[in-house]
Structure 1
Amino acid sequence: MKKYIVYIVILIVGVTLGWLLFGGSSEGGNHNHASETAEGNKMWTCSMHPQIMQPEPGDCPICGMDLIPAEAGAEGLAANQFKLTKNALALANVQTTVIGNAMSIDNTIILSGKIAENEKSNAVQVSYFAGRIERLNVNFTGEKINKGQLLATIYSPELVKAQQELLTAASLKENQPELYKAVRNKLKLWKLSENQINQIEKTGVVKENFPVYATVTGTVSEKLVEQGDYVSQGQALLKLANLSTVWANFDVYENQISNFKVGQNISITTNAYPNEVFNAKVSFIDPVMNPETRTITMRAVLNNNKGKFKPAMFVTGKVQATEKHSEQQLSIPATSVLWTGKRSVVYVKPEADKPVFEMREVILGGRVGENYQVEKGLNPGEEIVTNGVFTIDASAQLQGKKSMMNHTKEIIESFSTPKAFKEQLQKAYEDYIKLKDALVKTDANKAKESAAELNKSIELIDMKLLTNEAAHKQWMQLIPVLKEGSADMAKTIDVDVQRKFFKTVSDHFIKAVQSFGINEVTYKQYCPMADSDKGAYWLSKEKQVLNPYFGDMMLKCGEVKETINNN
């Protein structure tokens, strides 16, 4: 009995101590309360549309997919913003700087260029008589050729006949000296030397295979024939480049042209010889601008007797600007720029005290020293990433945000379009909408019929109405794909195949509407899950999203990306 009393006393003491140590403390209660609060503040988002943030689980209002818990700390961020942890920033050695107006102290302009062959020294080795190449002594491109070197041996029936004529004329030269002289001159025109002609005449032996000797010294830049080929008189055998001098061609931006003149000193460096500086002078400035790159070519001639410069080698030129600009211009470090095709992007830190970043597209001017001039896209006082830019971009891509790799925004030029052309494009747009509606309903037969109507409408659009050269060029780029894509859709009743063609047709039709306009407002819509999660666009008359790529499967998956109103 006493034993049970002892056990009971021990139990009561343990419970009392537990209550004193834990039960009366508010820490546990606060912990539970905090958990409940955190759970109550949890946000829910869509894996395909991260801009969607809701305080409770449910379906995505865009695509209908189940919402998932949002990453902690993601609240309050814009659609294109993303956040990195302090550890990630430290590991990537991310550095930022606040930008302001600045100019290069020494007013030096840095240009990028390439080594090219000196066209003045280039030559073509030709065959001066017709025949078959019996032996070709040039083995490969890049081989050095010296003047007078045997290049090939050619069998020429015409030359055989001419030698026979020489022997005949030689026997009659006392009676017919003019004939004899004419035959010798004929052989000289075929580049036979006096010694060769005298040797034929002296021996009385007709040569069947005749040698071809190099008329210039140079390096073989291209072999145009092979052994056994038949060549005609005057046909090119080899292209030869004399690389004793080469050109250094540099691209000069439109706003830099006034800083250069012929005879100006330029310092040139290469990656191959980083510790050497080659001094030259500007020898030529192209009077015609490249309309696509908006640059002109500036040239310097380099001595290349030692063979250091190779055609296509990248070079950098430094030139002292002839004009000092009193007006300061916004500039950013070259290390902060990422290049994506024709576009340039940087990463901006919107708030100084938060590790939040977003991508920004910028338009750059010329390079001055280690900086690029900024024409558009940034403002003084903004903070940008200057080191670790690739790591930041990779993080954006992993989090599904806009990055260099997935940023495909394209600026479409719009034109003043003749009324008749716009009306014809409007008719094609109406047929396009019928095709889109048929795919929304997954009606392959109706889609086939509508695609045929669209094809006819596109065929009837008169491109001669576009008198603007740029507009005409834009339409000529779009029309082949529109015609071919709509024709291919009209050949099948497989709705999956139709939808694949519809994506291509839509991309080009959207460009057409953006460039030339129609007589009403239209909505450019986008589904990120179409085309195997690559995403696809289409046009619609209404804001309401009705997905032509999935139909009833995911009818409302998508969003309005742009309202096009250029009627």
Structure 2
Amino acid sequence: LYKAVRNKLKLWKLSENQINQIETSNKVIENFPVYATVSGTVAEKLVAQGETIKQGQPLLRIAQLNTVWGNFDVYENQINNFKKGQEVLVTTNAYANEQFKGNVDFIDPVLNTKTRTVTLRVVLNNKSNKFKPGMFVEGKVKGISSNNEKVVTIPTSAILWTGKRSVVYLKSNPNEPIFEMQEIILGNKVGDNYEILDGLNNGDEIVTNGTFTVDAAAQLQGKKSMMNKEGGKTTTGHEGHLGMKETASVNNENQSNKNERIKVSVDFQNQLKAVFNDYIHLKDALVKEDSKNVIKEAKKLVENLVKVDMKLLTASKAHTHWMTLEKEIKNATNSISKTSNIKEQRNHFKYVSSYITNAIEVFGINEKVYRQFCPMADNNKGAYWLSKEEKVVNPYFGKAMLTCGEVKQIIE
């Protein structure tokens, strides 16, 4: 028992001298000093006075601050500029007029997929105790220029991808609520944002949410959009109908995919095809003007939409593009299922058609799809829809004008 008590006191970090003093004093000692096994500064107190502690429980966190680490984020396109042992000049706001030298000690071999950066560690001499844990520092390397200009970043939700092209909708006139499509060049992805290398300036106003809805509206009005890069109204041979305005004639030959295809797995294409099949059933219900069946088919479409496995999209661009499309398809289709008014259902259907068209163009479903257009739909603004056959069956008018429209594009 005597040895067990002495060993327990040793586990509490008491020295032999302290234990001998306790033994020879023949008195109960309530307070005694506990010495750390290393010298340094108390960085954190882990227990409070009067608290019961267990064997092996840490009491304090001790930090040796004679040397400290500076952790820097390095973008993937900058990794080749750094190597272990390289000298780095470090500055901090606390000592604006001083520079401190350090050396690269470690470069993380794993890239952070969220920030698209790797961590670079620099060891700094801190005998003067100027660096404090948590302090922000900036590092510079000789021979590598840095750009002090403000970097323009925008949220991922603002970007539309059409193969290699990236576009946003930019407010063209600061005094008017008018937005026009603007091509941009993207830089690094930082969290949920992208750096902009070209196409936007600091202070520009862009659409950050509902971008697909704005694009669909531009497309329906014949303006510059993802589907119509040049813009301009198109004629369809129905200009003689009552209420139609005169428009300039254009080449009506069938066109192939206007958006560049992103290569995805066959499994993903098959799941997308199931969504497209539900879309066709929804279109057929609108042709028959059966609003109850329209609601039923809209709900089925959403059920299959949420079953699409995004994990099948391994490329970051494909994954992000589908996430945005899925959200817009779901919102527009749910709007159809929430009303029994056939006119309102058809109004929401034109947006569903636009989003699904984009999905099929970008990802493909290994099936020929006909994109058709009626110039009299949507109060003579015109509207598109998709079909599995070349024959025109108009979902926007039903029996009233069943064959009004024509094929404007064939998506292979």
TM-score, scaled to structure 1: 0.39
TM-score, scaled to structure 2: 0.50
- Of the two structures, which has the highest relative contact order with CA contacts closer than 8 Å and spacing of 6 or more? 1
When Rg is computed on C-alpha atoms for both structures, the one with the higher figure is 1
